[in-house]
């Protein structure tokens, strides 16, 4: 890990392009990551919006190898490594740490529901002990609407007590401002990312460290500027970010992001998703672009 460098305040859960054979398209992925990095945006590859859970362990490892080989900075990376299965989570985490990534974003095992904190604690502990590397920095991933497995205050407390430094922060994708306040109230200094730029300013005001947001895939420059200027007027303003985000989130998120990228790069290949997810219908895509232009969205290729 690069303790000395500055961790990005804004990260994109990088969308994953697929070829006609539904295999990941590493060329387009690398180009997209370079574009994000040039605008100061960190790379939370293999997140929800990366369709990471539609990828095999081997595919995820190969893509991370390729990103690093392409010269992208592991110090700006927070790849997702949490899966349903302990050995898969261990393998992905060990591999990512071996690349010197800044940290990993870790979903809880998400098939079984109603799992108690003791079970989740044992699961995370087992991963940490098996990876056995002091460089490991875990960002817990709280996204109950998809995982069905919330990460609550008691669990965070137990993990931080047992593994200080290692359990470094969290991405809170619940969308609840009250939860940001609750977590930061209980754990000052915990590196908390909001899961949407709608809560970027709120989170920074509360002591959080930024956001990891789907829409950073299409609007990275503006979000990064707002992050840098949240205390003055030199950024685009929270409202400008919100207008873009609200236009996009009316549609299925990943399909919408890929549609926007395909449209502004004039590259229909980008529209493809791996099943079970599907591309945006043409009419919806046209409506989305019209809405974005109505709010002065500017894609900066």
Distance CA 222, CA 218 (A): 10
Distance CA 189, CA 110 (A): 27
Residue 56 interacting with its own copies (CB under 8 A): yes
Task: Tell me the H-state helices in 13-56.
Answer: 26-38
- Adjacent-strand bridge partners of 226: none
Smallest gap, in angstroms, from Cβ of residue 133 to its own copies? 19
Distance CA 172, CA 227 (A): 17
Question: E strands along 120-225, which residues?
Answer: 138-142, 167-172, 191-194, 210-212
Site for its own copies in 66-105 (CB under 8 A): 84-88, 91
Site for its own copies in 162-181 (CB under 8 A): none
Token readout for 198 is 């709608």
Q: Which is nearer to its own copies, 31 or 86 (CB)?
A: 86
Site for its own copies in 17-36 (CB under 8 A): 22
Distance CA 15, CA 255 (A): 10
Which among 242, 250, 144 has a CA at the least distance from the CA of 201? Answer: 242
3-class secondary structure, 71: coil
Residue 153 interacting with its own copies (CB under 8 A): no
Site for its own copies in 118-147 (CB under 8 A): 118-120, 122-123, 126, 145-147
Identified binder of its own copies from the candidate list 71, 164, 188, 276, rule CB under 8 A: 276
Distance CA 63, CA 29 (A): 9
Identified binder of its own copies from the candidate list 34, 40, 54, 299, rule CB under 8 A: 54
C-beta of residue 44 within 8 angstroms of C-beta of residue 78: yes
Residue 249 interacting with its own copies (CB under 8 A): no
Identified binder of its own copies from the candidate list 17, 80, 108, 169, rule CB under 8 A: 108
Smallest gap, in angstroms, from Cβ of residue 55 to its own copies? 6
Task: Find the part of the chain contacting its own copies (CB under 8 A) among 39-47, 193-201, 257-265, 270-278.
Answer: 270-278
Residue 112 interacting with its own copies (CB under 8 A): yes
Smallest gap, in angstroms, from Cβ of residue 143 to its own copies? 10
The backbone torsions φ and ψ at residue 249, rounded to the nearest 5 degrees and listed phi first, read -75, 5
Identified binder of its own copies from the candidate list 231, 239, 278, 296, rule CB under 8 A: 278
Site for its own copies in 205-244 (CB under 8 A): none
C-beta of residue 167 within 8 angstroms of C-beta of residue 190: no
Which among 236, 239, 218 has a CA at the least distance from the CA of 227? Answer: 236
Q: Which is nearer to its own copies, 147 or 215 (CB)?
A: 147
Distance CA 76, CA 178 (A): 28
Smallest gap, in angstroms, from Cβ of residue 48 to its own copies? 8
Binding site for its own copies (CB under 8 A): 22, 48, 53-57, 59, 84-88, 91, 108-116, 118-120, 122-123, 126, 145-149, 252, 274-278
């Amino acid at each position: 890990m690069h303790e000395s460098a500055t961790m990005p305040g804004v990260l994109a859960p990088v969308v994953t392009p697929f070829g006609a054979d539904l295999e990941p398209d590493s060329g387009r992925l690398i180009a997209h990551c370079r574009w994000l990095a040039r605008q100061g945006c960190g790379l939370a590859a293999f997140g929800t919006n990366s369709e990471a859970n539609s990828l095999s362990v081997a595919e995820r490892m190969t893509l991370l190898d390729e990103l690093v080989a392409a010269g992208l900075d592991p110090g700006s990376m927070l790849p997702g490594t949490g899966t349903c299965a302990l050995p898969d989570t261990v393998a992905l985490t060990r591999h990512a740490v071996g690349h010197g990534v800044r940290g990993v974003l870790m979903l809880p095992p998400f098939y079984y529901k109603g799992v108690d904190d003791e079970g989740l604690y044992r699961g995370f502990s087992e991963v940490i002990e098996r990876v056995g590397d002091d460089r490991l920095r875990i960002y817990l991933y709280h996204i109950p609407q998809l995982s069905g497995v919330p990460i609550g205050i008691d669990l965070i407390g137990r993990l931080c007590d047992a593994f200080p430094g290692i359990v470094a922060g969290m991405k809170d994708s619940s969308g609840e401002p009250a939860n940001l306040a609750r977590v930061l109230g209980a754990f000052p200094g915990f590196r908390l990312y909001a899961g949407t730029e709608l809560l970027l300013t709120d989170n920074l005001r509360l002591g959080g460290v930024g956001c990891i947001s789907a829409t950073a895939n299409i609007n990275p420059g503006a979000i990064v500027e707002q992050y840098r200027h949240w205390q003055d007027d030199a950024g685009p303003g929270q409202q400008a970010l919100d207008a873009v985000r609200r236009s996009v989130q009316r549609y299925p998120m990943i399909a919408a992001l890929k549609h926007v990228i395909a449209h502004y790069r004039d590259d229909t290949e980008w529209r493809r998703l791996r099943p079970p997810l599907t591309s945006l219908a043409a009419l919806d895509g046209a409506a989305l672009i019209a809405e974005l232009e109505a709010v002065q969205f500017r894609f900066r290729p």
